[in-house]
């Protein structure tokens, strides 16, 4: 069975988690395969701690904690699911570190040192939203993360572009998907077309 490990990336508020649900339903109904939708930080106790306790970490400490959570996620969820023949779709993966830990002041090279163990997905889709639309969505959120407070959708989009170039140079299959004027269903169909 063809390995299908898809990562959905993009700035906060771009529509990642909405798209993961939409894509999981589409892949399941069109292929009949079992789909494992997952996310990072993972749903493990370490992942929950990283989400809840931002102030517990220095920037380097957070980079390493996120990488440790990623290692557990790969070994405990992603690899076993792929070995069972399931489709895996993850909301965030290594590119999130190449953007968020960079906003925390680390270099791409240092972040990659902590993440080079991570297997490349079959496809990494980076959502490119309209920055103004995303700003309005974030304004409507009651609680913003440290990164949402300290950056803008336009800056995150720029850093995602640099992360994409960095990973492509390492052989990753990365595509940028303009989502400014598309429904989640249309975006899911465009991503699936990459597997046709
Ligand atoms: N393609 C889209 N078109 C219009 N609204 C969208 C689209 N994708 C997501 N949304 C809306 O934008 C908001 C943020 O989406 P979400 O999936 O939570 O983003 P993220 O996971 O990237 O932070 C949600 O209210 C969602 O319903
Ligand atoms: C995946 C990932 C998350 N994080 C941090 C960002 C956030 O502070 C926190 C939670 O991620 P986030 O996806 O923003 O949470 P939610 O799903 O609740 O919107 O983890 C990193 O710093 N680096 C990473 O690579």
Q: What is the ipTM score, two decimals? A: 0.96
- The pLDDT of 147-168, averaged and rounded, is 94
Residues 6+ away with beta carbon under 8 Å from 55: none
Which listed ligand is nearest to 180 at the C-alpha?
Answer: 1
For the segment 24-54, what is each residue's pLDDT rounded down to a tens digit? 999 999 999 999 999 999 999 999 999 999 9
Ligand 2 atom closest to 91 (CA): 13
Fold observed for domain 5-195: Rossmann fold (3.40.50)
- Domain borders along the chain are 5-195
For the segment 56-75, what is each residue's pLDDT rounded down to a tens digit? 999 999 999 999 999 999 99
Residues 6+ away with beta carbon under 8 Å from 116: none
Residue owning the nearest CA to atom 3 of ligand 2: 41
- The pLDDT of 106-123, averaged and rounded, is 98
């Amino acid at each position: 069975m063809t390995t299908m490990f898809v990562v959905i990336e993009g700035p906060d508020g771009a529509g990642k988690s909405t798209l993961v649900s939409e894509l999981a339903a589409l892949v399941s109904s069109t292929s009949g395969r079992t789909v494992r939708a997952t996310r990072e930080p993972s749903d493990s106790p370490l992942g929950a701690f990283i989400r809840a306790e931002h102030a517990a970490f220095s920037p380097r400490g957070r980079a390493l904690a996120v990488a440790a959570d990623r290692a557990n996620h790969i070994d405990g969820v992603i690899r076993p699911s792929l070995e069972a023949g399931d489709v895996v779709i993850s909301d965030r993966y290594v590119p999130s570190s190449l953007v968020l830990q960079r906003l925390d002041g680390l270099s791409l090279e240092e972040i990659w040192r902590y993440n080079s163990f991570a297997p490349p997905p079959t496809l990494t889709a980076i959502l490119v939203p309209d920055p103004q639309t995303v700003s309005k969505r974030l304004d409507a959120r009651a609680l913003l993360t440290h990164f949402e407070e300290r950056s803008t959708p336009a800056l995150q989009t720029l850093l995602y572009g640099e992360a994409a170039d960095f990973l492509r140079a390492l052989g990753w299959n990365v595509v940028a998907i303009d989502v400014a004027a598309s429904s989640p269903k249309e975006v899911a169909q465009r991503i699936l077309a990459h597997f046709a």
